[in-house]
Amino acid sequence: MIVLAQGDSGPFIRWDWIFSHLDEVWDKVFEHLVLTFIALAAGMAISLVLTVVALRYRRSYGPITWVTGALYTIPSLALFAFLVPITGFSVLTAEIGLVSYTLLILVRNTVAGIDGVPADITEAAIAMGYDRRRMFWEIELPLALPVIIAGLRIAAVTTVGLVTVTALIGQGGVGFFILRGLGRFFSTEIVLGTALSVILAVAIDGALIALERALTPWAKTRERVA
């Protein structure tokens, strides 16, 4: 950044430029949020399916973590480069990558959350006449929520960061500013894109904390008592 700033004759941040481009800023912030939201929602849905499979057929849990783990290790740039010839410079390409990176964290936390439900509680549920499916939705899943949301928070922060990378394939939300700023050695845009990305990550994390509090009032009382 310092090197870049040297190539720039103007001040480090030109506030007037930002204020004159507010419409574009909002557009990109909105796009960033949408890309993040779709990635998390799709990631959560796929993870839930994978979790149900992993819990039902215990032997599948190894391969599931292996595959999602492998996806997680692929460099994002390489993955997008690989996908572009197939799905083009599209939202779909961006989302395939973004969703892939959420799976490992979400599946692992969801399985851990369900596994963490105390045995006496599931035993009581079955002994009172719950079937497995109803117990999963009404007992296990709600009790696993704190752990699941903890995973969702990590996945959300990671995704917000990764969305900026998708600027390279014509998406990218606020990453667009970083890329364009780099292209024309304009530090204001680089700083703007970076700062917005950080702010979005913090804001989404905060929103998820609030969501957890709202969804698990029973756990909040535990903190109060303890």
Binding region for other proteins (CB under 8 A): 118, 120-121, 123-131, 134, 139, 142-143, 216-219, 221-222, 225
Q: How far apart are CA 50 and CA 40, in angstroms?
A: 15
The DSSP element (H or E) to which 173 belongs, if any, is none
Closest CA to 111 of 164, 68, 165, 47: 47
Based on CB atoms, which residue is closest to other proteins, 183 or 217?
Answer: 217
Based on CB atoms, which residue is closest to other proteins, 115 or 123?
Answer: 123
Based on CB atoms, which residue is closest to other proteins, 44 or 139?
Answer: 139
> Residue 203 Cβ, how far from other proteins at the closest point, in Å?
27
> Residue 87 Cβ, how far from other proteins at the closest point, in Å?
41
Based on CB atoms, which residue is closest to other proteins, 11 or 116?
Answer: 116
Burial class of 111 by CB neighbour count within 10 A (0 to 12, 13 to 18, 19+)? buried
> Residue 155 Cβ, how far from other proteins at the closest point, in Å?
23
Helices (H) and strands (E) in the chain, counts: 12, 0
Pull the structure tokens for residue 210: 């609030």
> Residue 144 Cβ, how far from other proteins at the closest point, in Å?
10
Based on CB atoms, which residue is closest to other proteins, 65 or 122?
Answer: 122
Number of neighbouring beta carbons within 10 Å of residue 16: 10
Q: CB neighbours of 29 closer than 8 A, spacing ≥ 6?
A: 173, 174, 196, 200
> Residue 61 Cβ, how far from other proteins at the closest point, in Å?
22
H helix runs in 21-131, sequence order: 22-56, 61-73, 76-87, 91-115, 119-127
Pull the structure tokens for residue 181: 């700023």
Which DSSP symbol is given to 8? -
Based on CB atoms, which residue is closest to other proteins, 82 or 218?
Answer: 218
> Residue 72 Cβ, how far from other proteins at the closest point, in Å?
31
